[in-house]
Amino acid sequence: MSAVIDTHDQDHHHGPAKGYITRWLFTTNHKDIGSMYLIFSFAMFLLGGTMAMVIRAELFQPGLQIVEPEFFNQMTTMHGLIMVFGAVMPAFVGLANWMLPLMIGAPDMALPRMNNWSFWLLPCAFLILVSTLFMEGGAPNFGWTFYAPLSTTYGPPSTTFFIFAVHIMGVSSIMGAINVIATILNMRAPGMTLMKMPLFVWTWLITAFLLIAVMPVLAGVVTMMLMDINFGTSFFDAAGGGDPVLFQHVFWFFGHPEVYIMILPAFGAVSHIIPAFSRKPLFGYASMVYAVGAIALLSFVVWAHHMFTVGMPIAGQLFFMYATMLIAVPTGVKVFNWVATMFRGSLSFETPMLFAVAFVILFTIGGFSGLMLAIAPADFQYHDTYFVVAHFHYVLVPGAIFGIFASAYFWLPKWTGHMYDETLGKTHFWLSFIGMNLAFFPMHFLGLAGMPRRIPDYALQFADFNMVSSVGAFMFGATQILFLWIVVKCVRGGKKAEANPWDGAEGLEWTIPSPAPYHTFSTPPVVK
Amino acid sequence: MSTNHQTYYVPEQSKWPIIATVGMGLTFYGLASIMVNNSAGESTTGAWITFGIGGLIMVYMLFGWFGNVIQESREGLYSPQMDRSFRWGMSWFIFSEIMFFAAFFGALFYARTFAIPWLGGEGDRGSSQMLWEGFTASWPLLNNPDPEAYPAPKGVINAWGLPLLNTILLVTSSFTVTVAHHALKKNDRRKVKLWLGATILLALVFLFFQAEEYVEAYSELDLTLASGIYGSTFFMLTGFHGAHVILGTLMLVIMFIRIQKGHFTADNHFGFEATSWYWHFVDVVWLGLFVFVYII
Amino acid sequence: MHVHAKRASVFMGACLASNQALGDWTLNMAPGVTGSSNEIFDLHMTILWICVVIGIAVFAVMFWSIFAHRKSKGYKPAHFHENTVVEVLWTIIPFVILVVMAIPATATLVDMYDSSESDIDIKVTGYQWKWKYDYLNEEFGYFSNMKTSQDEIYNRIQKNEHYLLDVDNPMVIPVGKKVRFLLTANDVIHSWWVPAFGVKKDAIPGFINETWTRVDEPGIYRGQCTELCGRNHAYMPVVVKAVPEEEYNEWVAEQQASAERERELTEKDWSLEELMERGEQAYQTACAACHQADGSGMPPAFPALKGSQMVLEDVQAHLDVVVNGVPGSAMQAFGDQLSEVDLAAVITYERNAWGNDTGEVVTPKQVFDYKNEE
Ligand code: HEA
Ligand code: HEA
Ligand code: CUA
Ligand SMILES: [Cu+2]
């Protein structure tokens, strides 16, 4: 795709600032900020995961044993919110911060100070969000989708704090996305035309566009909630001419693109990893780019597939059903491309590749259940059951999370200058793989047998699979501690990594030494 | 796109972002506390103090941060490439603002085309009339499904009075700011000040009339935030627009001060340009409002 | 920990000899007992199989590479990429498959949306956390509460076979007739679901949603609320009894008669004991979910009634709260939900139970008057 001729001198800048505070609080360096994003995201993953463990422990058997229903609902809500906004999105922004400038040959992000602000707003937002757990009346308990009027008229007092936390997250995401777009459009090394950009860059360009388009809509809908709660408006109250379903339309106009925000960067990363370990170029670069574009555009016109049971007119049902089904086509193009890339390559299975291959297989399974959900009449049976929970954990856990793990292992040598422990990495993979499937596959059966989601207690016929699922979840959860250990170990030492530790990997990021110097590409390389 | 790649300016460590974070956190936390304490009937003093401190920090930060940027720019540290980064940044920021308003316009259209007719007993969900006897759909909504919970307004603002005047004011101000911009490109300082001053004046008059209109709505028409979906959408759309006009006016004022100080050159004046883009955006949103909120 | 032991043994047992507990390990959707649910089931199976086949094809190619084209086996990579024919094919073929899926899906949907020409209309209203069924043509209606006891929920006694899926008054409908449901809600959004009918529709406050069913076989069908509606979302089951037509008619007549009897009861003179007895029952079904069986509530969300100022003193205020509710809080207006007798009984009960020994009696007549003077 891209090759470099210019050598680049990277030493007329100095290294990181000395003091802890000056270095991390005041930094404008994309690598520092990237690392902070990644660390923050992992902390949130542990926190959100711990909440999932509470959920799974309560659901281990029927009856109420560990928590009361209102606390359970808070756990479900916070788990969803923290995983989506705290774990997955920041992890991708962290990867973007680290890798985009390296991949396009830029000295840093386009707007470095704003970059720092985008990051620090996140801990601030999550401080407010998590503090609601300790407020009178408890944390938000209405699901991460916070449907009105449960979240407005009937919400706990902390809802107002939740709304402002969402506003801050929105500001952070929008600024982050603006930065990404400005960087990609304006900072590429000479010669790197759009159609020569690495796929991770492409997917992030489109993700950033999605973010800028939908985060303000989320801000808009929570603002309407805020006014309904505190200023007597009636957007979501029929008594004043509003409609609770209006909330859902606006929310999902944000919500559906949001789920692609959580997968497109992973698509990009996997599109680097699979060719690298297949030692064979990506099968169809151009069609991959177009497919991502098509997915992004379609994602704006499918939102109501989350609302098939609200009683839309049939024309609406049909439109949203057809549009949703169409997304299978470009996504299929991507899956087929990955498979075709592997086909007749020279494959080896280091940890990043293991995660990437599992990503393709398990994401596809999640995609299939998505397609089943898209069939409106069948969704009447699936909707709000564990079938949906199974679907989205299949696209999110082995999708987004495995994508992030794969990227982390792939680029860790570049970040730290050391190789991670391959045996431990493989152990992490296999335990995660087994635990994850054990946890989430039975949820398909539960959903089909009729178990509703968001319940702390269930009828007896669901007991067996719930127990299996909980066991799998504990296993998956415990395994993540191993990942923490692997990363810490790799940061602290290990086999020295070469500039390009993977014989099949290509791209500008592999032309600089490992670990990447504090300042890179101060003079842009020239790409042929 | 190959110009001047060599000198992209990457700023050193900066304290502003973290100050901005603290400021924003306190402001929002304070705001939320004010609202929550208010509805719980508790004292809001502490909350106001938090809010105030946060606000002051934000103001301090804005001056400091922009001050830094202006200084760097005037020291000639910025390349044309940097200029492009700012342009992309501002354009996409405005796009995000457009989407913010799009959500509100969407709510308005939804209420008018779906919710209210349904409540009035029409369409696929027609049996709704079971629930709201005596409610008939209309727009502007002068009777609410439950008049006790949401007393309806007595009347609506006439589009051809103040709103029309305001439309003329705002459209004119878009012209004047453009004239000022052209003058700046020709480096005609006197003319810039004249036309920029005129723009600010028009903006202030607009805001004055807008306030007047609100007073009229509340005191004479009983049109309030709580008078059903008509009042809700009316005040939300015009209110957020108004807030943006205030912000835009502040930006214009700062540009005026900077011109006064002799900032900007004929070919390097992005701050001014961004402000005028923003102003045009505010203007376009108003045109949407005028048509969809006041006229139809 | 009884259940724990039982479940653990089932789990272990199932692992060792998997035929032992097969009944519980349901893997798939059930076809159900209505035309719609059967159509949905067929649709579900069709799409599932299409996905399985595509999956097998895709993964087969992939696993072939994984096993055959390994570096460790010394396999040399090919270098092909981009092939327009292949790329067009793998765009068009999935598209065609989707069209094939969309056709039966559309047909089913159109069927399900046709709620015209119904024989019976039932208005279904969701409350936090129970259902109300109003038979519009017969002019009577009643509430349907979950019957499972708190003791079962908190694992103090053995769980019943229909744990969480049992109600005091199920909906009753005749088989073979087209029944139309008009769904709405009183507070938040709920969703009314009976899997065996293939019917799931949201009940939205302020709006009415329509759906319908025609059940082929008599039986008792169970479902649950499927939209998160607050604390007791897990505890608002739906139970529908489908009976032959004659039985249905008898049941309707009985309902109308008992509504009449209820009216007469209002006139009767009630003693404190009678009211307490009836009140306790009504309290357990209607109030205990929030205020707890022993009146201790769950402050700050749900106030304690035991020792409450209002309950001990001001009768008028007590009546007002129970009859009209507290707007904007979870405390609903029970005036329309309970009969005069039950309201009187429950209020009397609250004023005399758990050491609230006021000795006061609130009679059905008093409640009746209170409601009518408003
Ligand atoms: C990363 C996140 C992610 C991704 C990528 C997806 C992808 C898809 N999702 Fe999913 N979805 C969620 C996250 C995601 N979803 C979440 C979080 C929810 C629940 C929200 C909540 O309520 O809390 C949800 C819920 C959800 C619903 C609502 C269910 C309900 O509540 O009733 C629906 C319905 O249509 C749906 C559909 C789809 C479809 C069609 C895709 C498609 O993009 C999938 C496309 C992929 C494939 C189809 C596989 C590969 C393709 C081939 C191999 C080609 C050939 C295939 C065929 C021709 C069949 N999703
Ligand atoms: C990216 C998003 C993401 C991710 C990664 C996950 C990860 C997990 N999720 Fe989550 N989930 C959602 C997004 C996500 N989820 C969303 C959006 C919802 C919907 C919310 C709603 O309904 O509103 C949901 C809902 C949801 C439910 C349904 C709740 C309900 O309906 O009531 C369940 C139930 O099992 C569940 C389980 C899990 C588990 C076991 C994991 C595991 O993968 C987590 C594993 C990670 C860890 C465990 C952390 C690491 C370990 C430690 C910190 C040490 C402690 C370990 C032990 C004690 C063993 N999730
Ligand atoms: Cu009612 Cu859930
Ligand atoms: Cu979706």
pLDDT tens across A78-106, in order?
Answer: 999 999 999 999 999 999 999 999 999 99
- pLDDT, tens digit, 9 for 90 and up, residues C21-41: 444 678 888 888 999 999 999
Question: With 90 as the cut, is the pLDDT of residue A220 above it?
Answer: yes
Q: What is the pLDDT of residue B29?
A: 95
Residue B137 CA, chain-centre distance (Å), reads 31
Exposure b/e, A332-351, CB count within 10 A at least 16 = b: bbbbbbbbbbbbbbbbbbbb
**In ligand 1, which atom is closest to the CA atom of A80?**
23
State yes or no: pLDDT of A398 exceeds 50: yes
The residues in C 86-115 lying below 8 A from A, measured between CB atoms, are: 86-87, 90-91, 94-95, 98, 101-102, 105-106, 108-110, 112-113
Higher pLDDT, B198 or B221: B198
The last residue of a domain, from among C64, C83, C112: C112
CA atoms within 13 A on the CB side of C5: 4
The binding-site residues of ligand 2, defined as CB within 6 angstroms of any ligand atom, are A 45-46, 49-50, 52-53, 55-56, 76-77, 79-80, 83-84, 87-88, 143-145, 389, 393, 396-397, 400-401, 439, 453-454, 473-474, 476-478, 480-481
pLDDT top residue among C142 and A267:
A267
pTM of the model as a whole: 0.91
- Give CA torsion, residues A272, A278, A280, A286, to 10 deg: -40
User: What's residue A396's pLDDT?
Assistant: 96
pLDDT band at B124 (very low <50, low <70, confident <90, very high): low
Cβ contact C340:C135 at 8 Å: no
Q: Give pLDDT tens digits for A5-33.
A: 444 444 445 667 777 778 888 888 999 99
pLDDT higher than threshold 80 for residue C14: no
Mean pLDDT value across residues B129-133: 81
- The 10s digit of each residue's pLDDT in C224-253 is 999 999 999 999 999 999 999 999 999 999
User: Would you place residue C125 in the very low, low, confident or very high pLDDT band (cuts 50, 70, 90)?
Assistant: very high
Q: Tell me what pLDDT residue C23 has.
A: 43
Question: Both C272 and C213 in a single domain?
Answer: no
Average pLDDT over residues A327-356: 94
CA distances to A158, B101, C168 from C195, rounded to whole Å, are 36, 41, 20
| Model pLDDT, residue A24 | 87
> Does residue C4 belong to any structural domain of this protein?
no
Does residue A436 surpass a pLDDT of 70? Answer: yes
pLDDT at C13 over 70: no
Q: Encode pLDDT of B73-92 as tens digits.
A: 888 788 888 888 899 999 99
For residues C175 and C251, membership in a common domain is answered with yes
Both C67 and C175 in a single domain? Answer: no
Contact: B5, A524; criterion CB under 8 Å? yes
Count of C-beta atoms within a 10 Å radius of residue C308:
18
Structure tokens at A84: 């989506």
Contact (Cβ atoms closer than 8 angstroms) between residue A426 and residue A370:
no
Which CATH number is C46's domain given? 1.10.287
Total domain count, chain C = 3
Full set of structural domains in chain A with CATH: 2-510 (1.20.210.10)
φ/ψ (deg, to 5) at C173: -135, 155
Alpha carbon distance, N-terminus to C-terminus of chain C: 52
Say yes or no: C252 and C335 in one domain. no
Q: B51, A198 in Cβ contact below 8 A?
A: no
Query: In this structure, is residue C22 part of a structural domain?
Result: no
C83 within domain boundaries: yes
Per-residue pLDDT, averaged over A43-65, amounts to: 95
Statement to judge: residues C135 and C221 lie in one domain:
yes
The domain boundary, picked from C112, C143, C171, lies at C112
Query: How many alpha carbons fall within 13 Å on the CB side of residue A226?
Result: 22
Q: Which domains does chain B have, with CATH numbers?
A: 1-78 (1.10.287.70), 82-295 (1.20.120.80)
Report the half-sphere exposure of A396 (CA within 13 A, side-chain side).
Answer: 20
Q: How confident is the model at residue B125 (pLDDT cuts 50, 70, 90)?
A: low
Which of C225, C227, C238, C290 is the best mutation test for A, with the most CBs of A within 10 A? C227
Q: At what angle do helices A328-342 and C35-68 cross, to 10 degrees?
A: 20
CA distance, residue C152 to nearest chain B CA (Å): 37
Range in A334-343, C101-110, C311-320 with the lowest mean pLDDT: C311-320
Residues C210 and C166 grouped into a single domain: yes
Identify the CA nearest to A145 among candidates B36, C186, C228, C203: C228
Strand, coil or helix: what is A418? strand
C65: contact with A, CB 8 A cutoff: yes
Give the separation between CA C270 and CA C249, rounded to whole angstroms. 33
Question: Measuring CA to CA, how many Å separate C50 from each of A103, A295, C60, C93?
Answer: 40, 22, 15, 13
> Do residues C138 and C244 share a domain?
yes
| CATH number of the domain encompassing residue C255 | 2.60.40.420
Spatial distance between the Cα atoms of C78 and C71, rounded to a whole number of angstroms: 12
Evaluate whether residue C6 is within a structural domain.
no
From chain C, the residues in CB contact with B131 under 8 A are 184, 206-208
Q: What are the C-alpha distances in Å from B232 to residues B12, B210, B286, C58?
A: 46, 16, 17, 53
Tell whether C196 and C97 lie within a shared domain: no
CB of A464 within 8 A of CB of C25? yes
Average pLDDT, chain A: 92
Choosing from C219, C238, C263, the residue where a domain stops is C263
Whether C201 is in a domain gets the answer yes
- Lowest-confidence region among A427-431, B100-104, C343-347: C343-347
Residues C247 and C342 in one domain: no
ipTM for the predicted complex comes to 0.90
**Residue-level pLDDT at B123:** 65
The model's pLDDT over A482-515, given as tens digits with 9 standing for 90+, comes to 999 999 999 998 889 989 999 888 899 999 998 9
Q: What is the CA radius of gyration of chain B?
A: 23
Tokens of B51: 């809010």
Q: Which of C80, C91, C227 sits opposite A333 (nearest CB)?
A: C91
Q: Which two tokens stand for residue B11?
A: 């700023």
| In-domain check, residue C24 | no
Same domain, C238 and C341: no
**DSSP-derived 3-state class of residue B285:** helix
Q: Using alpha carbons, list the distances in angstroms from residue A207 to A184, A295, A489, B103.
A: 12, 11, 32, 20
User: The domain spanning residue C300 has which CATH number?
Assistant: 1.10.760.10
Residues pairing with C211 in the sheet: C181
DSSP assignments along C200-230, one per residue: EEEE-BT--EEEEE-B-S-EEEEEEB-S--S
Residue C355 has pLDDT above 60, yes or no: yes
- Sign of the CA dihedral C226, C231, C234, C239? negative
pLDDT for position B2: 41
Q: Domain of C354?
A: 268-373
Does C139 reside within a domain?
yes
- A366 Cα to the center of ligand 1, angstroms: 7
Please indicate, yes or no, whether residues C257 and C157 belong to a single structural domain of this protein.
Answer: yes
Q: Are residues C159 and C67 in the same domain?
A: no
Distances (CA, A) of C87 to A341, B50, C94: 13, 60, 11
Residue A444 binned pLDDT confidence (cut-offs 50, 70, 90):
very high
Higher pLDDT, A385 or C317: A385
Torsion, CA A350, CA A355, CA A358, CA A364, rounded to 10: -140
For chain A, the residue count is: 528
> Are C69 and A154 inside 8 Å of each other by CB?
no
Which of A437-441, A471-475, C49-53, C345-349 is predicted with the least confidence, judged by mean pLDDT?
A: C345-349
Q: How far is CA A164 from CA A220, B17, B20, C251, C311, in A?
A: 12, 19, 16, 54, 39
Is C329 among the domain residues?
yes
Q: Whose CA is nearest to atom 59 of ligand 1?
A: C51
